[in-house]
Structure 1
Amino acid sequence: MSSTRQDAWTHDEDLLLAEVVLRHIRDGGTQLQAFEEVGKQMNRTAAACGFRWNSYVRKQYKSGIELAKKQRKEQKGKNKLSEPPLNETLHVDQKKEENGKINQHIQEVISFLQQLQNEVGINDNTEKENLILQDQIKQLQYSYQELQQRYEKQKNDYEALQKEYSSMIAILDRARKLSLQHSE
């Protein structure tokens, strides 16, 4: 019996999740069905897929969601148009209009893919920047530890000097009292 995964999500898993959810939106399915499908493919629960989608992935695909919804509406409209009444044929003007819609649809898909490519590039830059920042954090932690050690050493040296100073003051005070007693 295999257990469900609970490890961190990879970029490829996020892409698969987005692809399946957008396909379900476009085809008129529910997001829950998409989460179940992705969950089976990745050995994760549908709830985990839904949480990941709503908490992180969905924010990155706002334009994709809008495009998928628009495509779903267009598909519903085409289904109504594709069932003409008996004995009617499409006119040349209707065919030109459909070709124009197809060309517009293709342009929207191209635009979406270009935007997606830009977002992937941004994610790559973010990952590189994250690695650089992690290195800087390690360097700062190392510097902090060195400073903490120097501080502790100086603190100990100061306390030792303070004890020596107090002892010396006490000795001088006793010597002064003895010299006063002898001078009387």
Structure 2
Amino acid sequence: MKIRQDAWSHEDDLLLAETVLKHIKNGSTQLRAFDEVGDELNRTSAACGFRWNAVVRNQYDNAIQQAKRERKQRQRQVAIQAVAPQSFSSPQTSFSPPMEEEMSLHKVITYLSSLSSQSNDRYAVNQENSQLKEEITALKKQITSYQNELKQLKEKYTSVEEDYKSLIEIMNRARRMAFLGDEDRNMTSSFRMDKNGNLEKIAKAE
């Protein structure tokens, strides 16, 4: 039974990372990599898996992506070799052997898996593009709404500004007309507002 309580060393983490990357490149599973590392370090497979996901994995994101790309390339090469006929030639003679009728099950599965992986990648890209288009459309609608609100606010501001200017003008006229009463001390002055909101002076004799 594997029981270890000591901490993971840098060398242990490095062995774990190299083993997992190797299995990814070869099309194997991470579980097999954990088993292999567990046997090497006398640790349980679960402990190796926890260490990989919790600590080591984040340090090898680029290496993981590269390993996956190499795995796909290898699968494509195997599929091409399994499907495409081989031809042989020499300076003296040239011939093409008959295509093999029997194809290994492993090669067929590898080829189909490669096609499925490519199809899934295209589907994921199309889904992502569709989501981006929907988000862009929603943002355009929101921008249009904000533009309309801004236009309405500008119109309200212009109206308020005009009213404010009119009020100031009325107050200035009233102030000027109030001072006119000093010119004629024998007359009393009063004011009234016309239909346009203008103040006019009404003079009456005392």
User: What's the TM-score, normalizing by structure 2?
Assistant: 0.41
**More strand per residue:** 2
